A and B are shown apart, each in its own frame.
Chain A
């Protein structure tokens, strides 16, 4: 009894003290908590942003009230540097924009310069470029989709397809000698023909990859847990997407069938039979599905290009612009002269301006080159799809929870290198 009495007495004292505190206004009540917003720094370095960029989020509990993206953490002033580099030295800069699909950037830049110089690339080189570009698109989409799996907690798919990405990088190695920042091709064509090993590796990969891709798809496409995480998450309407300048898979997921490969064909894309997948709602699931389907379409294009690979030279007969083989430079007078002129940037570039765009991994990758006839561009502007569509991110995540914001970011495939140039 005595013990109970004491306890009750203590309770009473505590109760009174609590009431006193609450009445004093010093202790926040439940109502006060719901008014208080938390500022959350998502980034600059955060495992789920897959790159260095920051989002300052205002959170009400788990809900995002507003978001302010800050970018520029790896800004390397490519547009300024390009104003002092001869054309061939700008190719490595393009590597470092969307480093998940460097060959597309390289080819896009070469084609821009070729357009300016009026060089026509032979059919074989065009097909070779198509193969390289579609391989790059596949690796780009594989990374995006498998990382989306990782962000939703499914690590297995990522491990499976990264094995395949590794094989594609081995094919790159056979084609150009490099893996990630490829610096592939030259102005006027490719730097070397596909070797037998390259062709063999490519054929082997084309045989084995579809099975892995099927496995990956069967793991995710109708996976209940995955769908719960991504369906209706981070949607954007076609109208808003166009207003925000979306291109590529993100725009097609919203239902607009704009693809540069079809609308303004380059590098013989008109020769190939492929389809443009589109989504309906522009949500994370649609973006995932569009990318998956594009991988299949890219495989179709590679198969067609490889089967119909024309015979002939792998570069244009344009000695003024196409760097001669190194062996010839040591033995051949003309080759030495052209080598010297090209390396010193003394090629005759016409005065003019040219805009050329290619379908990059993330959308319309544009190069706007103004030449004043000098050895370097007077002005070079990159239309970087990431930079343009990432500004829609706050609008897409406001009102959703933090975990939804992470998968939305992941499915948009924002590559920091391309974002910041």
Chain B
């Protein structure tokens, strides 16, 4: 059964392949990802501007990143960047983490997203896989209050220690919220 679904999923992408070499590469990468981690691991598969983007769950993110790093064929062992994001309207999936990984050998980039509720912003750390994840996760904690379990030193990095909120969350407006002469209608969000 699993094979069937994989084939049918891969078929339309292969048809589009001759037009764009990047699309063919992405289709190959996606097929490989689904073979490694199971077809139902990834949801919301997209290719905005040629960069394969998949969504997965926080339960599996560590395993996936470790698998990508260790896979000999893929060698996706360069964590380009990671950042948090806040969608207040998405009930139960308000906060997210977005990872960009890069295979320098194959020159393939991949974007992985995970979403989780703001009431329970707990994500496994990647510091055991990537030394570079240390400060990136501290930045995400600083800006969004995402807790990384297993992080060796999860403290604020750019803002002052005694700050009691996480400023990149959308509820903190940039302009003074008490002013009435500058409404969002004319001045952005």
Taking beta carbons and an 8 Å cutoff, which residues of A are in contact with B? 71-72, 75, 77, 79-81, 83-86, 115-116, 240, 242-245, 256, 258, 263-264, 345, 352-355, 357, 364, 366, 368, 370, 374-376, 379, 381, 383, 387-388, 390-392, 395, 420-421
Contacts and interface: CB of A to CB of B under 8 A. Distances in A.
B189 A83 contact: yes
Contact of A243 (B51, B132, B136): B132
Contact of B188 (A84, A258, A264, A353): A84
B107 A355 contact: no
Contact of B134 (A85, A86, A353, A391): A391
B126 to A, nearest CB: 11
B132 A244 contact: yes
B130 interface: yes
B188 A368 contact: no
A239 B74 CA distance: 17
A354 B46 CA distance: 12
Interface string B153-189: 0001111100000011000001100000000000111
A72 B158 contact: yes
Interface stretch (B12-20, B77-85, B115-123): B77-85
Contact of A366 (B81, B143, B188): B81
A86 to B, nearest CB: 8
16 contacts: A75-B158, A80-B167, A115-B49, A245-B131, A258-B104, A263-B104, A352-B48, A354-B49, A357-B80, A364-B80, A368-B83, A370-B85, A374-B189, A388-B135, A390-B135, A392-B131
Interface in B87-121: 98, 100, 104, 107, 109, 111
A71 B157 contact: yes
The interface residues of chain A, by DSSP majority, are classed as: mixed
Nearest to B153: A68
Q: Which of the listed residues B85, B107, B131, B187 has the most CB atoms from chain A within 10 Å of its own CB?
A: B131
A33 B188 CA distance: 62
B26 interface: no
A365 to B, nearest CB: 11
Contact of A355 (B77, B111, B139, B188): B111
Contacts of A345: 188
Contact of A79 (B78, B130, B143): B143
A305 B47 CA distance: 33
A306 to B, nearest CB: 29
Give me the 8 closest cross-chain CB pairs, A-B, nearest first.
A245-B132, A381-B83, A72-B158, A383-B81, A75-B158, A84-B174, A391-B135, A354-B49
Contacts of A240: 131
Contacts of A370: 85
B107 A388 contact: no
B3 to A, nearest CB: 32
Contacts of B156: 72
B38 to A, nearest CB: 25
A375 to B, nearest CB: 6
B159 A244 contact: no
B107 to A, nearest CB: 5
Nearest to A351: B48
B189 A355 contact: no
Contacts of A263: 104, 107
